[in-house]
Amino acid sequence: MAKVCAIFGGSRGIGRAVAQLLAQKGYRLAIVARNLEVAKAAAGELGGGHLAFSCDVAKEHDVQSTFEEIEKHLGRVNFLVNAAGINRDSLLVRTKTEDMIAQLHTNLLGSMLTCKAAVKTMVQQQRGSIVNVGSIVGLKGNSGQSVYSASKGGLVGFSRALAKEVARKKIRVNVVAPGFVHTDMTKDLNEDHLKKNIPLGRFGEPIEVAHAVVFLLESPYVTGHVLVVDGGLQLII
């Protein structure tokens, strides 16, 4: 049976690195993001057989129609990676409600919607594997990131509960929780200052997180797990 993986947020950063690893392993990939041109470029560099789709994960009708399109063109999804995410960092008292909603809708509701659509088809296939990309701040919290932390903490609770719900259907659900990683999301941070607090002394690279995602995606006896990939940051915060 073909291994068909939908990677939401697969056009850039961590999701794109996951796509590069999975393409080498023979998966058929759906690269999903809002910006279709960037997604097409990411899919194109993987070689043949992979397709790009435009979708806002926060919109249920978008997610549903995207799964229908993926099934039509690539086959039924049996692997799902949720790497779509945004941050709007600020102290809570300065955070606009619209920025709270945007983070919760993209990071948490978005993953719920894609998981719901994926589980429906995975149940029919009696197999499936899902990896949701959380964050170390979802476990530890971080000043200036209360809403983002809540979205990622919620993702852990959601993923563990879903793992229990679907285990009997041979569907696994796991989380990778990265620390600071070199992507567009972190390009404006003060790296020199922040890396002093990281035991391994540096930010991570997308490919280093991607290896953890692929490990969980393919580990047949692991479910409900949260794998931290943070250069040791969790040891000290």
Query: DSSP secondary structure string, 167-229?
Result: GGGTEEEEEEEE-SBSSGGGTTS-HHHHGGGSTTSS-B-HHHHHHHHHHHHH-TT--S-EEEE
Is residue 156 a contact point for ligand NDP (CB under 6 A)?
no
Question: Among the options 27, 53, 67, 148, which is catalytic?
Answer: 148
The reply to whether 148 belongs to the active site is yes
Is residue 184 a contact point for ligand NDP (CB under 6 A)?
yes
Is residue 154 a contact point for ligand NDP (CB under 6 A)?
no
In the complex with ligand NDP, which residue's Cβ is closer, 158 or 180?
180
Q: How far is Cα 6 from Cα 72, in angstroms, rounded to an integer?
A: 13
Binding mask 66-85 for ligand NDP (x = CB under 6 A): -----------------xxx
From candidates 3, 20, 34, 104, binder to ligand NDP by CB under 6 A: 34
From candidates 123, 185, 222, 237, binder to ligand NDP by CB under 6 A: 185
Closest by CA to 19, choosing from 4, 35, 34, 37, is 4
3-state secondary structure of 44: helix
In the complex with ligand NDP, which residue's Cβ is closer, 125 or 234?
234
From candidates 5, 14, 29, 81, binder to ligand NDP by CB under 6 A: 14
Q: How far is Cα 178 from Cα 180, in angstroms, rounded to an integer?
A: 7
From candidates 19, 43, 52, 57, binder to ligand NDP by CB under 6 A: 57
Burial class for 87, CB neighbours closer than 10 Å (0-12, 13-18, 19+)? buried
| Residue 10 near residue 81, CB atoms below 8 Å | yes
Is residue 181 a contact point for ligand NDP (CB under 6 A)?
yes
Q: How far is Cα 223 from Cα 228, in angstroms, rounded to an integer?
A: 15
Residues that are catalytic: 148
Which residues contact ligand NDP by CB under 6 A? 8-9, 11-15, 33-35, 38, 55-58, 83-86, 106-107, 110, 133, 135, 178, 180-181, 183-186
